[in-house]
Structure 1
Amino acid sequence: MQAVGLGLFLLLMPRVGLRAPPDSVSCSQGLSCWLLEADVLCSPGAVGLASGPVLVPTQMRMESVLHCAAASDCSPCVKVELQLAVLGPQEEVAGEGVRDGAGMDALRHRDSGPLRSWVLLSVQTYPSSRCVALEVQLPRTLARPNHTVGSLWFHCFEAVLRGELHVTSYTSPRYREVLSQTHRVPDCSWPAARAAIRLCQVPRLHLSVGPEHIVVQLQDVPAGQNFTMWFYWNQTSGLKGLRTEKGPQNYSLPSAQLLPCLCLQVWPDIPDPPRTSRCPFTQDPMAWTRLWAQAQLKLRRTAGRLSCSVLVPCAVPAELVPCWRLKRAGPCHELPHLRQALTLPTLHEFGTLQPHPNLCVQVWSGGRVQLMQCLLEGAMQGQPADLLLMETRDPQGNMLLCAMERGTCVPLASSTCMGVAVGALEQQLRRDVQAGQCLQVWDAEGSVVGTGWACSLEKYLRAHWVLAWMGGLLSTFCILLLLLLKKENLKGWLKMLKEDYSSGGVLRGRRALILYSPDHAGFERLVSTLACALTRLQLAVSVEMWSRAELCAIGPMQWFHAQRLRVLQEGGTVVLLFSRGAVARCMEWLLWKQGERLPRDDPYSAFSASLNCVLPDFLAGKAGGQYLVACFEDLLRPADIPELFRTVPIFTLPSQLPTFLLALAGTAAGREQKSSLKKHSLWIGVSLQRAIRECQLQKPDGHCPAQASALPGSGQAPMGAKSEAGELPPAMGST
């Protein structure tokens, strides 16, 4: 059977016209192998039964190697490895198929020669195919039935970069299934090919960015080789070519074209060349700055709806964020659930929004606002200082209203961003919404939060001040009536009034900034009582509760910096009015360590923002002459104030009101002024005691107990409570 197979194999016609590199065959120890024919016609044929032991390939593996005519003139080819095993005689059994026969003792026949096998390797690739014939022998003494006896290597089949080869292997005649495998040749990124294959010897690109031009230089250019350079923008709509250069090795582009999507591609001037591409500016900050400087955001009003489009040279990851801005220079508060991913080029529509002067659209990218445009900038007619309300319904169908502030819906009872308690106007606002006197800017249909209404606060503010004036006049009338009933008290009050205004006021020309923690409404009323009493003495007082509109417009940090600078420039005083909440906030900052999570903070509290500047002044010993510390003795013990703040005078109110007022008056106060301040302290003390009792009578959840307990760690905060690095914790407010 083997002789017949060999005779048929030798009669196969060799193929002519295919050029192949020199081939070689090698095998492992114990095996002998030869290359019989490098290019023959072959066919696997049908599977036959082995009448005796035969040598067959059982596994195939391929790898890409280089075939080199010279040191730097190589071409890719594929090396094939076959593992060989001994297959014993076989027989067919009815119902069981083919199994090993009983003639395995033939391996030990003393007169038998070596096992001999003819192996065919066939390769198919576009556009040609090839088949080689190999002979392999194994001494019978080394044969182990059904065990691998060694390996055979064929070097090698010619290939091309990025090419694909399909190789099959079998014996002639064939005794088992055909081994088949597909192998893909790598491209010029293959490390072994870069220096050995001419096609892969692409020059390096060196970039020099100047103020007006970008210079691209080709380096390590192979001798006698010409290259083409292509500059293009990689956009979502496809590649946009800028220019193509040939011949020289230095190229120049205007710096205005240096954008994140600017790419370069270079290839040699040969048929079907490999190309090398680079996009070196994707992480360049200057390229991103130049990109957003060239981008444009355009708002449109189409059929009563708001839409926008973004013109940008490159595809960028960004989001469109609608927001509501009360003032031209104020912050723009995001409207929830309306963000859209930016897709180019597309017209984006906000179907639930009606155009309004307070509406703006921002483009967010890289964690910051890159572009913003408001309808007010387009000279749209309307009232630009409206309050945005959100209408929802409870399960019973009742109307619920809340104010949109800082990207969330705030209950009207807590909204004071316009300088007026909006909760007091809830019934009027509800009636105006139901009567259609507010402008609808947010449709409930398609919205996940409700219906938005823009209501003008102008009439509410006017009515608010009219009521305030009427209340003030009524209060003045009641006070005068009470004083008339007590003639002696009236004389004393008139005398003090004469002292205040005939002499220009006891504290006229002095200025003070009162910093406090707004723990609750009762404590704020107590602070307001103290501030109003000081204002009657013509002390210029700055306090957070009287500047809520300005604080919301510019932010707490900017408000505090402006007030502190003015007070200190005019020789005034910054008063730190401590409460339990203020002590807790200071202790969090003083005990903060590097690497720990920052303390929780209210970004709209002036006291929390002021800690960024107040604490460094105390730690540096610069607080003397600029700061005073005070507390209400029935609400907080002086011992609970952190030790760091004891470097300046501490006053307990109202018992130490006379010395507190003298400290505010400064060293220039004369004898008469000091005497007048002592008399005023009696009247101010009575007002403070009344406000303190009201605070103490609140419910337990009012956080205003009759006697404040000592806070953990109070009075024991180290003077230099800093981070381990010796620095203050980072600022928690916006700078």
Structure 2
Amino acid sequence: MVSPGCSIGHVLLTIAMPAFALELIAHDVQEVVCSQGLSECTVKDESPIALPGRKNNAVDIRDLKAQVKLCCEDGAMCPLCLVIDMLLSIQLSRANSRTGQRAASVKVCYTPSSLPICKRVEFTVNRETLAQQNKAHLSLVIKKPQGVSFSSRVQVSVHPTKQRHLIGELVVPSLDEVCVSDLQEHIKECNAPRLNSIVHQARKLVQLEVVGRNSSLLDRMCLQYERNGRCQPWCSMTVPLFSVTPCTCFQIWWDEGDQRSRRSVSCPFGDRAGVFQRTVWENVTMSVVQGQMTSAGSMLLWSLSAPCRLEGEVWPCHRTQGATESWCEETKGLRQQLSNGTWRQNSKGLWEIQGAFEGINLQLSPCAMVKVKERKNELGPFCYNNTSRWRWPLLVFALALLICSAVLLHYLLHDEVKGWARRWYYDKCVKAGTRHVVLLSPPDADDVVSRLMCGLGSLLCDRGFSVSVDQWSRTEQGSSGPLPWLHSQLLQVERLGGRVILVLTGKARERTEEWTHQQQQQQQQQHTEAKGKVQDKGLTRITSPYSDVFTASLSCVKADKQLGRARERFLLVDFESHPAHHPCHKKHLPELFRGLPLFHLPSQRRALLYDLARGRGKGSGGRKRTEPLQKQPTAGDDERRRRDVFVGKKQKQKARTKEKTTN
């Protein structure tokens, strides 16, 4: 309740008044504020369909004003508040004749979406204080109004009123407007990191620094040219100096798990355009090609690309004999402004604009020149080369060069090509169906991951592999258990040759780390019990590691890793739609999986199939050859063979001479 002597202007505390009229008021402001002549002001919730009471007959609302403000506490964030000011007209003749007072009320409703939310303000009218004016002011402050947020549209209506169109409507400012003002420090939704840049001329790079309230969270960042350009992920805190331009911008935000914070956009090099403008000029490229007009005339099509959008003009020209390479005579009357065209960003991130010059004589070797704003010299000339007369001679020369190169390579690399052909023939002739592939699901295999695994299993079956998926063998696992079923599959892999594929997800990585930690605890427990220093009573029992097939496979990976053959039997795959880690902030694989081959699907599907096709042979750790390779004779072998023949002849001659002497 407010005493009659209070006024609205003394209660609302205005701290700042930005351009979009969003003010700060004290959080402890009263919920309802009444002017002189009104007392015992209270507010309560009201149903939207409640009928007006008889006490409202003496009040008529003549004016309405609705605003959205920020209710602030010391050292805390400022939530939104809805402030509704009303001008009341009161009939004094209906007041109580003895006391000079009368009870009255007004109903206020605001509609943030489809359903209205209503409040009823009840008060007492004092006849003596209203005798001169018959008017009073009433202000209602609704803290944290339900459904009202930034960028929302709110409609306010009041009752009783004799004016049919007395409805207030307002639009709450957007975060893009609020978070670039001085109010961003008071608004929770504006919590976004800021970026500082330091230019190191000696090191030829720009160092980036992230500042903000949530320095404990990881930050994400992307780089773009121009504020409306396409933003590409950027994972480094340094930028090479040769790639920095005046229009280079960064978007940065906190990584809050599934819920990302608001992004802040920083273009720190715009005020130093003179320093980095040379980078833009050095990366301007232009191409000119021939075009055909509908009237059978010729035109010159041009396309200009640069890291930033440019202001300037382009015009056609042609060279004359004896002129310098940089001189080009302008074709008058055909200049075009770069700002009049439409700039588009290509796949390389460069801004590109295109145009055409009509009625150009292509026999004069036409060119194009560019004059960029704030640059003294022109860029160019960029010329069109009429190469039609050289096309066939160049084609014949290239064909002859290709034939000569093939013959030369055949004589120089005869043995290498022969060995490559032998290996290729061997890989193609080995039947892939003799190899066995075991596909194991991650612990958190949902419907999407299950469908992806079934698709991978079907693909391997179509390629001729013998495939066993744990999801297809639930009955066998239920009867024998996960670990015996897995050992039977490993025997198949050992007998037929093949691999065990582990599907890696975030949950699989966590399960592996937990399993490794449990193994370490179990080893410590066994070591402690062996020494007899700690009683068994106080130790925590480790749960069985064979609760599912994936967990059971971890012990097999560990055993093979100790024997040095884990790479020959196991490999990892992850689906790019369900990655195990973020592409910029890669976490290391669990220690148990380090050293195993990892394939990302579907981008590396061909590499996976190739690795499985050329994998282990039957019953051995390496590739098994279909027939033994014979050693090829060398020049040294021929020399030794001739020496052995010569020595043999000498020995035979000595034997004959000795035999004759004896006889």
Give the alignment's TM-score, normalised by structure 2.
0.44
Identify the structure with the greater helix proportion.
2
Who wins on radius of gyration, i.e. which is larger? 1
Give the alignment's TM-score, normalised by structure 1.
0.40
